[in-house]
Structure 1
């Protein structure tokens, strides 16, 4: 088969072959060599942007930088200004990769990568997917993603799908009729793997469960499923493994950066330490010990077109105690910093706490297809859900009891049954949000 994926990257100015060679050199380093590589790359990227990027110069200011911890932490609000004000000297919009974040954090912005950096992103993807026997040039992907609905945007994305050897299932409408058509496509196609948004793939698995169908039985070519962009809960992973009959791999990434962590064959969430430097910081921007939670702050080691140096991505996570500089392991991804519920007692709880409490109860019989939780007041929450049958009084009482037990009493919940839930423009399902 013609390697269309590699050819397309090269044709668009992304030097994928050179990037693959560089990545292999980094992977081959021993502990001492990697430590030297990392320190050199950190110094190099900071020096480059202090010399060539006015936006970063202004962010750092006139203070003398004597060590890494003196550098400012960059947040998404800093980046909400025209992209031309943030590009480094010597780079134009025609010469870089430009895209927009999905806005699932509530703070969308346009970003840029120089072409070599973007090629390294793809080299990183190719390397990690190969752990599961997936080759982007030859493996056929079933893709559960959003897609632009305007004519030219849609055609452009479909062309990219063709060159990337993938078939895209649009996830904006996931009715039973649409899911039935998806099932038919799997019966007729030799897909090698599934990749896409967690919530949509889980919804498809629940549809298969209702039909008592194992996907691998009707599509024997399937090898693996990679879920991304949204939280994968333990019971959802079990459901996917059962209904698909293949390994389920958890991916954590950001379009403006790279793959951040990818589940390896040993079931560890291995952090990308080749193109990124990951820190876990407290509210005072100080590193926390491995095993403690903190803000995930990331430096892109190769992006010269745009600075992502000590960039607070807006997520909270924990590095495993066994992590090393060269091989960090993400023990847990807790959620986003803006997904924190503030309770009447003064307690702060990650929004995922509510999600775990309610999900464990209302998923018992498989009636509930999807749901999202919104905090509307300090003591008030709305749960919007899609189900075959409306929640019973007994189920609601169970949820309220669990909330009292795990969070605190006297919280008020309103349950709203819907035919479908509102997704972001990209197709993501924002599972918890606070309006406070």
Structure 2
């Protein structure tokens, strides 16, 4: 089959051949070579941003650095300025890859990667999926993700799916009638793998359990299922493996960075040590020993367009005692769970649906700093938000319209502007919470 996926990335200005070659080289390093590589990349990326990024230089307050531990730890609040003010010299919105984070931590913002860095992100995805015999050019993906509802956005996404050799099941409505249609599609399609949001895939597995169906018996081409974006609990993993009849792989990533950890074929959650440097820090920004929980702080070693240096992702995790610099193993990820919203019509929607809804309030002026959504009754929700300026009627109307489109009409929403939002005892902000 024609390598359409690679070609599409190449045509969009992502240097895939070079990125794949560089990744192969990094993967082949000996332990000692890897250590030297990491140290060099850390110095190189910090020096680059101190010389070329006024935003980062201001933040750090020095022009040359000698001690890694003295560099500030960044968080999303630091980055809530218009993107233009955060880009390095020579990089613009036009010549970089620009996207929004999902805001699953409640703190959305717009970020950029230079095109080579983003090509390396794809190379790292391709490499890891390859562990399970999945090839993005030839393997057919059953995708459980959100999709824009507006006509042009929807068609664009569907076209991207076609080029990426995948079929998308929209996760905004996962009622039994819709799950029945999804099941029919599996019966009539030779899917190679499943990929998507954990909670949606778990809802599908529960539906199969109710019907006493093992997915591989009706879709024997299936090899593996990759879940992402939300916490995968052990009992859910067992349910998925039982109802699908295939291995279930846990993925942990962040759109502004890369794949952070991906379950290897030995069942370990292997941390990406090729394009990222991952630290686990205590509340004083000091590294904790392996086996101890702390904040996950990540440095993107290749992103020149935008600094992600010692960036606190908002999650808590533990590195395994047997971790090495070349092969760190994530023993446990704490946090990152999402609830499911149950609506008056009986429709069930994963908490991540709210990412697509709240996208309407995310403007690049950084006005809305954080938000959480609480379901207080079956038809009532509260949106608590922190912003410099109160949302106006026009913006509220826009949000309500998006809610009708993605969820259903006649839901009640109360908007509450706050100075700060309630956080868990780990400092984690949960974007969606069901009080039912």
User: Do they fold alike, i.e. is TM over 0.5?
Assistant: yes
For the 8 Å contact 1:263–1:270, the answer to whether it is kept is yes
Report Cα offsets for 1:150-176 as digits up to 9, x if no partner.
222111111110000000000000011
Report Cα offsets for 1:344-376 as digits up to 9, x if no partner.
xxxxxxx89xx9xxxxxxxxxxxxx9998xxxx
Partner residue in 2 for 1:151 = 151
SS in 2 for 1:94: coil
Report Cα offsets for 1:166-222 as digits up to 9, x if no partner.
000000000111000000000110000000000000000000011111100000000
Partner residue in 2 for 1:241 = 241
Deviation at 1:65, TM superposition (A): 3.1
Partner residue in 2 for 1:71 = 71
SS in 2 for 1:111: strand
Partner residue in 1 for 2:227 = 227
SS in 2 for 1:78: coil
Partner residue in 1 for 2:19 = 19
Partner residue in 1 for 2:130 = 130
1:246-285 correspondence to structure 2 within 5 Å: 246-285=246-285
For the 8 Å contact 1:144–1:201, the answer to whether it is kept is yes
1:67-216 correspondence to structure 2 within 5 Å: 67-216=67-216
SS in 1 for 2:243: helix
1:208 and 1:169 map into 2 onto residues whose CA distance is: 16
Partner residue in 2 for 1:409 = none
2:323 and 2:146 map into 1 onto residues whose CA distance is: 35
Instruction: Indicate how the Cα distance of structure 1 residues 271 and 100 shifts in structure 2: closer, same or farther if over 3 A, else same.
Output: same
Report Cα offsets for 1:60-92 as digits up to 9, x if no partner.
014863210010000000111100001100011
Structure 1 stretch 153-162 or stretch 22-31: which is displaced more?
A: 153-162
Instruction: Indicate how the Cα distance of structure 1 residues 385 and 206 shifts in structure 2: closer, same or farther if over 3 A, else same.
Output: farther
TM-score if structure 2 supplies the norm length? 0.78
2:62 and 2:181 map into 1 onto residues whose CA distance is: 60
Considering only aligned residues, what root-mean-square deviation do their CA atoms show, in Å?
Answer: 2.5
Deviation at 1:237, TM superposition (A): 0.5
For the 8 Å contact 2:50–2:64, the answer to whether it is kept is no
SS in 2 for 1:77: coil
SS in 1 for 2:220: coil
1:307 and 1:141 map into 2 onto residues whose CA distance is: 33
1:385 and 1:251 map into 2 onto residues whose CA distance is: 33
1:385 and 1:236 map into 2 onto residues whose CA distance is: 26
Deviation at 1:385, TM superposition (A): 10
Report Cα offsets for 1:307-350 as digits up to 9, x if no partner.
000000000000000000110000000115xxxxxxxxxxxxxx
Partner residue in 2 for 1:300 = 300
For the 8 Å contact 1:370–1:385, the answer to whether it is kept is no
Instruction: Indicate how the Cα distance of structure 1 residues 384 and 174 shifts in structure 2: closer, same or farther if over 3 A, else same.
Output: farther
1:298-377 correspondence to structure 2 within 5 Å: 298-335=298-335
For the 8 Å contact 2:376–2:434, the answer to whether it is kept is no
1:148 and 1:22 map into 2 onto residues whose CA distance is: 34
For the 8 Å contact 1:371–1:384, the answer to whether it is kept is no
Instruction: Indicate how the Cα distance of structure 1 residues 155 and 432 shifts in structure 2: closer, same or farther if over 3 A, else same.
Output: closer
Gapped runs of 5+ residues in structure 1?
337-350, 356-368, 373-381, 387-418, 423-429
For the 8 Å contact 2:213–2:243, the answer to whether it is kept is yes
Extract structure 1 runs of 4+ deviating beyond 6 A.
369-372, 382-386
1:152 and 1:58 map into 2 onto residues whose CA distance is: 40
Tell me: higher relative CO, structure 1 or 2? Use CA pairs within 8 A at least 6 residues apart: 2
For the 8 Å contact 2:103–2:431, the answer to whether it is kept is no
For the 8 Å contact 1:117–1:302, the answer to whether it is kept is yes
